[in-house]
Structure 1
Amino acid sequence: MALGRLNPGTWVPWMLLFVSYVWAFYIPGYSITRYNDNDPIPLLVNKIFSDQTQLQYAYYDLPFVCPPSGRAHGGSPFGSGQSISLNLGEVLRGDRIMTSDFELAMGKDVECRPLCTREVSRSDVKWARHLIKDGYVIEWIADNLPGATSFVTVDRRRKYYASGFKLGYRDISPASGRPRYFINNHFTIVIRWRGMPEGGKVIVGFEVYPKSIAAEDRNQDGCPKDVHKEQEGLGLYIAPDMSRIQEKYKGLSYIPEDDDDDDDGAKLKVPYTYSIYFREEPKIEWANRWDLYFNNQAEGSMTHWLAIINSLTICTVLGVTVFVIWSRTVQGDIKGRGDGAMEDQKLKTKSRQKSGKSGDKSGEGLLDQDADVEGGDISSDEEAVEDTSGWKLLHGDVFRIPAYSGFLAPLVGSGMQLFFMVTGLLLLSCLGVLNPSFRGGFVSVGMGLFVFAGLFSGYFSGRLYKTFGGTAWRTNTLVTAFLFPGLAFFLVLILNLFVWAQASSTAIPFGTLIGLLALWLLIQVPLVYIGSWFGFVRATPWEHPLKTNSIARQIPPQPWYLRSPLGPLLTGLVPFAVLFIELLYVFKNLWQDKSGYYYVFGFLSVVSVVLIITVIEVTVIATYNQLCSENYNWWWQSFLAGSSSAFWIFAYCVWFYLFKLHVTGFVSSFLFFSYSLLACVVYGLLTGTVGFLAAYAFVRRVYGGIKVD
């Protein structure tokens, strides 16, 4: 029954029900948790990470921190050390979230509370020093907010957060001039809250101020006598056993100051304590509580605008060039000659011999074309024949099936799959569905979109394969389903072997690997098969406006930029120029400042749209120049022209690694280059597919105005 035919008493309740469902729809990051006084606030521990390395470690895997006691508190049925259910994105990004022994109750300040006293061996002390040297920070979570270090700007007008807090610090010993390492063993936790009109309190800030306090001068419960007083730090140092050291280094003039041999059983006692303070913060709205994590990036707005202006400038110049090609050259030639000298006619053999000369091989090609085209002689004058040159001469070969077409079709299918995934991610990010509070959401949703887009991958690959005249569509389906996902899975598996050896939480658990394998083989592969079946069996191939001659035309000598790979590489510089300013900001957030969150997806989306338009324009220009050189092998060239900027992006990754990124260790460097290579492959497949489809549409439209009987 139509809605207009219902009386208000009937459709109003349905509308109210619909509105209630809309309000009940949960977008991650927008679910408010309200607390009353003395309500427990769970504090979760996650991992440690550093900007100087790609290796992360689960917090409770560290041998020098307090292990979970297993006690349940705060009304929770789970004891400390209980793993929290994680989504796929959280696991892949190295999160290992677990419940802790920290007891927080809303509004209840705690001056000092002991946590534990941990005995640390010499080897553990050495590892703690190494982690502090690499600048590792700790990530805790309360009310879905990461514990943050608070900063203020130089003018003291703005406050901002950096996710995580330092594991420890180092300084230089005034006596020996050597570095000393101190571990932070006291944590001052500050919870910022504000009241809600509906009642209750919400958390708008979670700050942690770590401090290193020596083990001496403490109360019986283990707390320092004066927490807020400046005190000597707890140094990571175990006095050496001189008798053993002298025996070990007997006869040597130099004896190391710190020996990491733990066979003697020496231990360092590290007492851990914490304080809790609740402070009202009426100036911060709950909906804006994440803004403090982004305020330190406010100065980057000018960079984003420069990136957009740079992109629009390049795109506009190329757009004018494409317009000139289309309006004056292509359409002008077609309209100026009616339907062309070749419409409803066939070139005379003697006329072509006159214009191409008797020994011209291209003339021989047209003679072969005459044998393939049906109809009688034409009545064209010599002037019209002599005007036939350049791209017009390729009417019988421009749609000739390219070499290795069985490989090109799966590449285009994979590119369409990635294009759908990236478009969905950018759209959801701009709408706010994917936000920092949706931990791991970007990777999880991206994986889901990629698997679902197997339908598009199979469809485009199957239909293009049919257009190329292929018959073994099931083989093409398997190549499409296994080519890119198989290479990506194999690379991740190899990387995991190296990360597993480092006992890092960056390593993907074996169960997750099996889950990814099942997701690929049991869901994506069938979706690719279904899409390929529709594209090959049910859909018709793309029709070409011109027939292809039986004998291929000989291609004349080509310019240097069409003979060598240098031509497509130079073409790729233009899309790279559109992207490189925004690319610097993305790289900084991904590799150099992992404690920050990339949030300017609006800018990135604009740059991405301009980038796609630029790739289309560049590919059209390159394809037209190639056709004007009487070279009909434009299929692969258009794909390479669109994807060639991936080469420059990888070169940019190398530059960034050498001059901007301070990564230590072989494994971290290997991870950086491997993930950079994988990202460039994704980018190359996506832009190469866009370039190929743009060139294909351009060629079909241009030669659609030429009719040959």
Structure 2
Amino acid sequence: MEFLKPLTCEVSCTKTYNGGNREDMEKLDKLKKAIYLNYQHHWIVDNMPVTWCYSVPQKPMYCSTGFPVGCYINQKGQQMGFCMIPPEQQKEDTYYVYNDLELVVSYHSGKKEDWGSSFQANGGRIISVKVYPRSSTQCGKSTSMLQISGKQLGSNEKIQIPYTYSVTFVENNTTKWGSRWDHLLESGPDSNIQWFSILNSLVIVLFLSGMVAMIMLKTLHKDIARYNQLDAGGSSDDAQEEFGWKLVHGDVFRPPRKGMLLAVWVGSGVQVFLMTLITLVFACLGFLSPANRGSLMTCALVLYVCLGTPAGYVSARLYKSFGGEKWKSNVLLTAMLCPGIVFGVFFILNLVFWVMDSSAAVPFTTLLALLSLWFGISVPLTFVGAYFGFRRRSLEYPVRTNQIPRQIPEQSAYTRPVPGIVMGGILPFGCIFIQLYFILTSLWSSQLFYMFGFLFLVFIILVITCSETAILLCYFHLCAEDYRWWWRSFLTSGCTALYLFLYCIHFFVTKLDIKDSTSTFLYFGYTFIIVFLFLLLTGTIGFLACFWFVRKIYSVVKVD
């Protein structure tokens, strides 16, 4: 294509499939499979995706960033994929290839004062490129459909598919070049629903969070006042009967089992949290626009690599407060464990791409570059952070820990570990599942996600909800004289990742039409990476909130 040079019925190529040729039959079967599974073309012109626009119910036009390879009418007369074949011309068990394309390029000519030094007399800026696919044996004629039978070709049969295209240029000076993405971002069929659902979710979650905060502040204030009143001359029997969280003050800061692993996970969670927060801030400010393809992932990776210092620092300080002395193991696990799990799963998925000879496979040189970033930047920064963390004085707790552990009484059903953890993930998940639908749709259905402002608000509400839920359940467990809050605080809010995984399964079953085993494996492989990082994120939020809460309440109350 050349700018401002229209083309009519240009032949790109003509593909011939001979029935007696085994290689041709294999390629024809691949083409049929691509049509059956609703494969799509994705083209880019001047950094703009070529869009395919069509009418949808209750909306004038919807523009998609891809257009289908073709459509298939099965033996029952049902359409597989988006079929633009008139009903009277549809045949059962027949494939239709969209081989004739009409491209309409809209451009903004502009004025010299708008362009500045880059002005050209015959120049322009491309606003949009729209495609109108047809199935046709003759270019430009929609009456003669190019049909491929679902049956195998005979040895003497052959099929010829001419691939043709036409290009038309249309001047459009009403749409500014800076607004050329608007028709893509605002044409989604779910735009109105998304605005209403997100606002509704925000109101509900803010209301619930306010209730939790109010209950906690009111109850705690009353507890602390009564405790201090009893210390001034009241009856200690009443305190033991009614208020159990003060009774475990000698055990509440007892180091947990597998303390090193907890410290490593919290340190990695801090790294993921800061990466997510800074990436969303950049996205809200417009630095990560859809025009810069891959900028979001690049920003996230660079930030994750550069935030190794906070991870090492938090992990080292927490591990040292547990009384740990194996600082070398702690640093190595912080730098290697969580990134190693993610990279290992990603490498296995990439091997599948290599075996399937997919264009989505990451080149080997890119993998080497990722390893260089990991071992050359992230690991040394983690060691630096751990060095400063171990150099600092150990965290001081407001109460001393008894030498002999206190016996934990029999717990009720809702204060036992598993029910409490499972209940803790419901409320945080409730504030993200609406936004989650649009994120998964953008990931797996080739739709653009651009509402980063709403996503940032939902992220802040997720942080608040995870914190308040973990604190509330931690308070109930301490009142039940169960002082094992370290791991429970991490897993309570981290259980949101379990509901995320279940929702991804629901999305896979109800919204996606994936029947291939390899694609299924890839979907759940990438889902595992997302769920694992989300576990680190939400678990760390809940743990740090509970850590602050427990230190705060035991520093306020008087303990002999």
Give the alignment's TM-score, normalised by structure 1: 0.71
| DSSP 3-state at the match of 2:269 | helix
Cα shift at 1:637:
0.8
Cα 1:658–1:114 change in 2 (3 A) is: closer
Would you say 1:118 and 2:9 are equivalent positions?
no
Which of 166, 169, 193 is residue 68 of structure 2 equivalent to?
166
Which of 183, 194, 208 is residue 108 of structure 2 equivalent to?
194
Letter in 1 for 2:5: K
Cα shift at 1:477:
0.8
| DSSP 3-state at the match of 1:651 | helix
Would you say 1:207 and 2:130 are equivalent positions?
yes
The answer to which of 433-442 and 562-571 deviates more is 562-571
Computing the radius of gyration over CA atoms, which structure comes out larger, 1 or 2?
1
Alpha carbons 1:311, 1:579 under 8 Å: kept: no
Cα shift at 1:161:
1.9
- Separation in 2 of the partners of 1:114 and 1:308? 50
Alpha carbons 2:493, 2:538 under 8 Å: kept: yes
Cα 1:229–1:325 change in 2 (3 A) is: closer
Cα shift at 1:476:
0.3
Would you say 1:618 and 2:469 are equivalent positions?
yes
Letter in 2 for 1:115: S
Where does residue 451 of structure 2 map in the other structure?
600
Where does residue 58 of structure 1 map in the other structure?
none
Would you say 1:413 and 2:267 are equivalent positions?
yes
Would you say 1:143 and 2:46 are equivalent positions?
yes
Alpha carbons 1:192, 1:281 under 8 Å: kept: yes
- Separation in 2 of the partners of 1:144 and 1:439? 9
| DSSP 3-state at the match of 1:393 | coil
Cα shift at 1:458:
0.9
Cα shift at 1:208:
1.9
Q: How does 1:558-637 map to 2 (within 5 A)?
A: 558-591=411-444, 593-594=445-446, 596-637=447-488
Alpha carbons 1:159, 1:295 under 8 Å: kept: no
| DSSP 3-state at the match of 2:287 | coil
Cα 1:510–1:393 change in 2 (3 A) is: same
Q: How does 1:79-158 map to 2 (within 5 A)?
A: 104-120=1-17, 121-152=24-55, 158=60
- Separation in 1 of the partners of 2:265 and 2:5? 60
Where does residue 247 of structure 1 map in the other structure?
none
Where does residue 677 of structure 1 map in the other structure?
528
Give the alignment's Cα RMSD to 1 decimal.
2.4
Where does residue 695 of structure 1 map in the other structure?
546
Alpha carbons 1:147, 1:208 under 8 Å: kept: yes
Would you say 1:333 and 2:245 are equivalent positions?
no
| DSSP 3-state at the match of 1:557 | coil
Where does residue 83 of structure 2 map in the other structure?
none
Which of 72, 94, 104 is residue 180 of structure 1 equivalent to?
94
- Separation in 1 of the partners of 2:89 and 2:194? 46
| DSSP 3-state at the match of 2:43 | strand
- Separation in 1 of the partners of 2:105 and 2:260? 60
- Separation in 2 of the partners of 1:271 and 1:457? 58
Which of 402, 407, 417 is residue 554 of structure 1 equivalent to?
407
Where does residue 253 of structure 2 map in the other structure?
399
Alpha carbons 1:322, 1:620 under 8 Å: kept: no
| DSSP 3-state at the match of 1:297 | coil
- Separation in 2 of the partners of 1:644 and 1:428? 28
| Structure with more helix by fraction | 2
Overall identity of the aligned pairs, in %: 35
- Separation in 1 of the partners of 2:180 and 2:538? 37
Would you say 1:526 and 2:385 are equivalent positions?
no
Where does residue 452 of structure 1 map in the other structure?
306
Letter in 1 for 2:423: L
Letter in 1 for 2:433: F
Letter in 2 for 1:524: S
Cα 1:553–1:265 change in 2 (3 A) is: farther
- Separation in 2 of the partners of 1:702 and 1:426? 33
Q: Which runs of 5+ in 1 are unaligned?
A: 1-103, 215-223, 238-255, 342-379
Cα shift at 1:336:
4.5
| DSSP 3-state at the match of 1:273 | strand
- Separation in 1 of the partners of 2:476 and 2:172? 64
**Number of equivalenced pairs:** 531
Where does residue 642 of structure 1 map in the other structure?
493
Cα 1:494–1:235 change in 2 (3 A) is: same
Cα shift at 1:322:
3.0
Letter in 2 for 1:185: N
Where does residue 147 of structure 2 map in the other structure?
235
- Separation in 2 of the partners of 1:542 and 1:406? 16
Which of 122, 146, 152 is residue 258 of structure 1 equivalent to?
152
- Separation in 2 of the partners of 1:150 and 1:337? 68
Cα shift at 1:195:
1.8
Letter in 1 for 2:510: F
Q: Which runs of 5+ in 2 are unaligned?
A: 18-23, 76-87, 113-118
Cα shift at 1:679:
1.1
The answer to which of 545-554 and 265-274 deviates more is 265-274
Would you say 1:651 and 2:502 are equivalent positions?
yes
Where does residue 706 of structure 1 map in the other structure?
557
| DSSP 3-state at the match of 2:250 | coil
- Separation in 2 of the partners of 1:172 and 1:635? 58
Q: How does 1:217-236 map to 2 (within 5 A)?
A: 227-236=139-148
Alpha carbons 1:334, 1:340 under 8 Å: kept: no
Cα 1:670–1:631 change in 2 (3 A) is: same
Alpha carbons 2:442, 2:448 under 8 Å: kept: yes
Alpha carbons 1:339, 1:705 under 8 Å: kept: no
Alpha carbons 1:546, 1:707 under 8 Å: kept: no
Alpha carbons 2:134, 2:142 under 8 Å: kept: no
Cα shift at 1:590:
2.2
Letter in 2 for 1:627: L
- Separation in 2 of the partners of 1:650 and 1:136? 26
Cα 1:564–1:190 change in 2 (3 A) is: same
- Separation in 2 of the partners of 1:291 and 1:320? 39
Where does residue 288 of structure 1 map in the other structure?
179
Letter in 1 for 2:205: I
Cα shift at 1:433:
1.1
Alpha carbons 1:616, 1:694 under 8 Å: kept: yes
Letter in 2 for 1:195: S
- Separation in 2 of the partners of 1:498 and 1:587? 22
- Separation in 1 of the partners of 2:213 and 2:507? 34
- Separation in 2 of the partners of 1:176 and 1:694? 62
- Separation in 2 of the partners of 1:162 and 1:257? 32
- Separation in 2 of the partners of 1:321 and 1:128? 57
Cα shift at 1:707:
4.1
Q: Per-residue displacement from partner, 1:471-508 (whole Å, max 9, x unpaired)?
A: 11121011111111111111112222323222212222
Cα shift at 1:396:
1.3
Cα 1:451–1:460 change in 2 (3 A) is: same
| DSSP 3-state at the match of 1:656 | helix
- Separation in 2 of the partners of 1:660 and 1:458? 40
Q: Per-residue displacement from partner, 1:205-230 (whole Å, max 9, x unpaired)?
A: 1112223332xxxxxxxxx5xx4333
